[in-house]
Chains A and B, each alone.
Chain A
Amino acid sequence: MAYGEKVLDHYENPRNVGKFDQNESDIGTGMVGAPACGDVMRLQIKVNDAGVIEDAVFKTYGCGSAIASSSLLTEWVKGKTLDEAKAIKNTQLAEELALPPVKIHCSVLAEDAINAAVEDYKKKHA
């Protein structure tokens, strides 16, 4: 299948690939998806005392659109508060990357990932 330009860009040059220690108190980790479905995303955020996301990293097992969705998301969440990050919708990612209908689930997965990361961080600080 043919991929859009932005998907290709994020796939070729993924931003913020990496891993934080998930046991650190300032880290929130969201791992979503399943190998059986062909995609697994791990999104991690580093949150400062003011509740702002200072840094974000990801690793994704999945198709190009899944990699691009998570890569783009790490760019978007940086500098955002937890609530702002949670407000990001999959439709925004899908629109920015011009995902075709069969790839919309990749953006849904990315939204799930940031929500899970925020929840993980909040649980640590509850």
Chain B
Amino acid sequence: MNDKTNKPIYLDYSATTPIDERVVTEMIKYMGPEGVFGNPASRSHAYGWTAEKAVEQARQHIADLVGADAREIIFTSGATESDNLAIKGSAHFNKKRGQHIITCKTEHKAVLDSCRQLEREGFEVTYLDPEANGLVDLEKLKAAMRDDTTLVSIMHVNNEIGVIQDIEAIGNACRERKIIFHVDAAQSAGKIPMNLESLPVDLMSFSAHKIYGPKGMGALYVQRKPRVRLEAQMHGGGHERGMRSGTLATHQIVGMGEAFRIANEEMATENERLITLRNRLWDGLKDMEEVYINGDIKQRVAGNLNISFNYVEGESLLMALKDLAISSGSACTSASLEPSYVLRALGRNDELAHSSIRFSMGRYTTNQDIDTTVAHVRTAVEKLRDLSPLWDMYKDGVDISSIEWAAH
């Protein structure tokens, strides 16, 4: 527990972040009757003009953070919508040219399920296996490219294990084959410096709530030169250059803009601080027996640490750690009892995949939070290992993989 608030310590910043107070202050100005509440598309009065100005300023802040032109930023309801628009919009637009798409098994469900939908429509999709460290092998990606491949979609930072893909190298490979390259950057924008002016990326998805902006708000970068074209998925008043109709949510957009502006200013110092916190957490746990980091430790976003505590089941560990707000890669709450598909794709064995915990730190995480977390985790893992028949067997030198288990 956090001593001051009596709430669990929040270590789930990869799931969502609180809206920064500075962002809240800006957003409120665009809501009430005394505020700038006009429709940014209203051209006939000052209510509309001021709202439009605010929207365009926010668009500029977002463009500035990622080195894009403001005209390349299309507002959406979130990264899920951006992924849908990028993948289905691009695949549909280019379907006469080819109907093959390449992605990776560890992508976010918004990407994977958009691809599944395209498969139902007759497209072919190659789902690459990542390497054991979570990274895509460039040569395997190149080998999967075909003459009818029109789109490659690879995320920048993985939401579960935090690994950073080499999007520059992947993008260059796509350019050579004239394949459109989409990147889901929901977990990387504001955390990793990037310059889209030079990065070979055609489409990039952003989320506001992963970086201290409001939920329900996102954007899609659509490159202008050379121009990338999409088929709209949402039809209506022709907003956002016809790519995404719907009245612009001024307050949400302003919030996203302010959040991205702050991230731009504070990213460098914040990353240093987060790496210190992450090291502090790992230093507190690494001497325990049978703990493993999931995903590459070097090619990794600052605030993420994903650890498997072998022979302890993830859901029971979460239950023991009720004073921490963390998440588990073990989805025992679903009837299927399937562990994280991301960890399975890395080739982690079942016990390790079921034993994983994701710690994601952020702007409001303190040293004290980490120290408390370390103490709680050590106690909980010890308690559950005392309860675990698998731990007993490990201690007795029994090879668990040699046993014939009756799957149920």
Contacts and interface: CB of A to CB of B under 8 A. Distances in A.
A40 B389 contact: yes
A63 B339 CA distance: 13
B334 A61 contact: no
Interface in A1-54: 1, 3, 11, 14, 17, 19, 31-42
Interface stretch (B199-207, B239-247, B311-319, B370-378): B311-319
A64 interface: yes
B351 A64 contact: no
B227 interface: no
Interface in A62-109: 62-64, 66-67, 102, 105, 108-109
Contacts of A109: 408
A32 B389 contact: no
Interface string B309-329: 001111110010000000000
Interface in B58-116: none
B354 interface: yes
The number of chain B residues touching the other chain, given as a range, is 20 to 34
A47 B296 CA distance: 51
A42 B311 CA distance: 14
A39 B406 CA distance: 11
Contact of B390 (A1, A61, A66, A112): A61
A61 B315 contact: no
Contacts of B265: none
Interface centre among A37, A105, A112, by most B CB within 10 Å?
Answer: A37
Contact of A60 (B332, B334, B389, B400): B389
Given A35-B350, A59-B387, A59-B392, A11 B319 contact: yes
Contacts of A19: 392
Given A19-B392, A105-B408, A38 B330 contact: yes
Contacts of A38: 313-315, 330, 332, 337, 339, 350, 354
Contacts of B311: 61
Contact of B313 (A1, A17, A32, A61): A61
B384 to A, nearest CB: 8
B408 A102 contact: no
B319 A14 contact: no
Interface string B352-394: 0010000000000000000000000000000000111111100
A6 B350 CA distance: 29
A36 B333 contact: no
Contacts, number: 86
Nearest to A108: B408
Contacts of A37: 337, 407-408
Nearest to A39: B313
Contacts of A108: 408
A66 B406 CA distance: 17
Contacts of B406: 32-34
Given A37-B407, A62-B316, A63-B319, A31 B332 contact: no
Given A36-B350, A67-B316, A60 B330 contact: no
Contact of B389 (A1, A31, A36): A31
10 contacts: A34-B350, A34-B408, A37-B408, A38-B315, A38-B330, A61-B390, A63-B315, A66-B316, A102-B334, A102-B335
Interface of B: 311-316, 319, 330, 332-335, 337, 339, 350-351, 354, 386-392, 400, 405-408
**In the complex, the 3 A-B pairs of residues with the closest C-beta atoms, listed nearest first:** A34-B405, A42-B389, A36-B350
Interface of A: 1, 3, 11, 14, 17, 19, 31-42, 59-64, 66-67, 102, 105, 108-109, 112
Given A35-B400, A35-B405, A40-B389, 17 more contacts: A3-B319, A31-B389, A33-B405, A34-B407, A35-B351, A35-B354, A36-B350, A36-B407, A37-B337, A38-B337, A38-B339, A40-B405, A60-B388, A61-B313, A61-B389, A64-B315, A66-B313
